[in-house]
């Protein structure tokens, strides 16, 4: 669809009819998790009512239904990402995907002093796993406007760099990073790249094959799907060469007390009973995204981003971290003389849901010399009325908190 019918979109999200303190809910915490449309809720309900069984191996009717729905979801996800289905590994989310690559791919290749090159705006989930694997983490600098210092990143590529790992869209600043340029530069030195797509899958253009990315991780719940489910994409040659990370059912080919052999991709990395409902729900979410139309969604959010920055600029004493060109619709706010937690509590009284804290980006908070921010983040069902409600609530909070 070329034009997004906001009222029709909102009607598909039952939770948006909730009220807070008698006020209309303005849900602006979408970078933390998105709400779920009826299409996803119905898919989950259908599985538990009519398909509930464990997948694979059984021959009874419910197991057959569950397996078809589960593996059909893998087809949906692979189609959405435009990749081969055997390269789609099911995980518990972005965090587990990064940990899997850190332990199964990188750790066996590390020598003392080897580095992973990151950026200064990474989520903790794209910092800590590399450190736990034994790598030295090095961060490229962030400019004052929240953009990536690309020259600074390229200057930090060296003979000890064993991996580049960077976010596609910053969960705190909304910055959209030039991942294609970074991948090309890293590949020129035979360095693999992992892209954290947790914030980008539903909000930015994702082109895994065009980028020639080695690994890509994302989470369902930030793209209108269920919590606790995600995907790791990896080039099949890399995944084939990696040892399993978890052991147990479904990831084996044969087992004896003398030794075991492993299943083929993608199952080699999927030990134990999977999150069947999560896979089915994510497949439904991606079909829903395709039906709505990514181009229309992106245009709608870009309009809201522009409108939001203009309206928030009218709030006295309010500062927004991050104004990089082409950024996503995320507003990380600091108000003079006010702690973000107090600000968030007063916004809640006005029916406005935002996230407060360091957003799992403590190094970035240090870079901008703030302890925390109040973050408003938008989605396809957001509208100008949500921004207006936010702005009114901010002005009221300022009158109450800043005498």
What residues are labeled active site?
Answer: 360
Contacts of 203 (CB under 8 A, 6+ apart): 169, 297, 298, 301, 328, 329
Contacts of 41 (CB under 8 A, 6+ apart): 14
- The radius of gyration of the chain's CA atoms, rounded to the nearest angstrom, is 22
CA distance 134 to 210: 31
Question: Using the 8-state DSSP alphabet, how is residue 276 labeled?
Answer: H
H or E segment and range at residue 81: helix 61-81
Residue from 208, 360, 209, 15 nearest 218 by CA: 208
Q: Helices 294-312 and 384-401: crossing angle, nearest 10°?
A: 30
* Tokens standing for residue 64: 């057959």
Question: Using the 8-state DSSP alphabet, how is residue 49 labeled?
Answer: I
- Burial 180-197, CB ≥16 within 10 A → b, else e: eebbebbbeeebbbbbbb
CA distance 65 to 207: 32
Beta strands in 281-329 (DSSP E): 318-321
In degrees rounded to 5, what are phi and psi of residue 143? -75, 165
Tally: H helices and E strands in the chain: 14, 17
Please report, for residues 6, 33, 112, 228, 291, the alpha-carbon distance to residue 296 in angstroms, rounded to integers and kept in the order given. 11, 21, 48, 28, 11
Residues 216 and 195: beta-carbon distance below 8 Å: yes
| Residues β-bridged to residue 117 | 138, 164
Question: Using the 8-state DSSP alphabet, how is residue 47 labeled?
Answer: I
* Tokens standing for residue 170: 């910053």
Beta strands in 96-246 (DSSP E): 115-119, 136-140, 161-167, 193-196, 215-219, 230-234
């Amino acid at each position: 669809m070329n034009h997004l019918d906001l009222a029709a979109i909102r009607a598909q999200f039952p939770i948006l009819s909730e009220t807070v303190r008698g006020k209309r809910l303005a849900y602006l915490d979408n970078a933390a998790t998105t709400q779920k449309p009826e299409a996803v809720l119905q898919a989950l309900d259908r599985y538990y009512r009519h398909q509930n069984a464990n997948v694979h191996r059984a021959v009874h009717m419910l197991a057959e239904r569950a397996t078809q729905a589960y593996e059909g979801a893998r087809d949906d996800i692979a189609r959405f990402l435009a990749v081969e289905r055997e390269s789609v590994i099911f995980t518990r989310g972005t965090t587990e995907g990064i940990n899997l690559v850190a332990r199964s791919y990188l750790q066996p290749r590390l020598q003392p002093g080897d580095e992973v090159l990151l950026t200064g705006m990474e989520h903790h989930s794209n910092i800590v796993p590399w450190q736990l694997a034994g790598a030295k983490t090095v961060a490229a600098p962030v400019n004052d406007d929240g953009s990536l210092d690309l020259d600074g990143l390229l200057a930090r590529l060296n003979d000890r760099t064993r991996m580049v790992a960077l976010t596609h869209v910053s969960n705190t600043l909304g910055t959209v990073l030039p991942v294609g340029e970074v991948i090309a530069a890293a590949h020129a030195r035979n360095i693999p790249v992992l892209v954290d797509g947790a914030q980008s899958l539903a909000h930015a253009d994702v082109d895994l094959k065009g980028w020639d990315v080695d690994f890509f991780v994302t989470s369902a719940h930030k793209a209108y799907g269920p919590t606790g489910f995600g995907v790791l994409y990896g080039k099949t040659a890399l995944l084939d060469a990696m040892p399993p990370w978890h052991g147990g059912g479904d990831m084996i080919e044969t087992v004896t007390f003398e030794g075991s052999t492993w299943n083929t991709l993608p199952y080699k990395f999927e030990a134990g009973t999977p999150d069947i409902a999560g896979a089915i729900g994510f497949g439904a979410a991606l079909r829903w995204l395709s039906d709505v139309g990514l181009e229309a969604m992106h245009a709608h959010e870009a309009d809201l981003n522009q409108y939001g920055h203009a309206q928030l600029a009218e709030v006295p004493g309010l500062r927004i971290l991050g104004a990089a060109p082409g950024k996503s619709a995320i507003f990380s706010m600091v108000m003079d003389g006010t702690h973000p937690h107090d600000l968030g509590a007063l916004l809640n009284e006005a029916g406005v849901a935002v996230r407060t804290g360091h957003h799992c980006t403590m190094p970035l908070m240090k870079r901008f010399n703030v302890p925390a921010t109040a973050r408003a983040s938008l989605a396809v069902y957001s509208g100008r009325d949500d921004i207006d409600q936010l702005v009114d609530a901010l002005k009221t909070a300022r009158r109450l908190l800043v005498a």
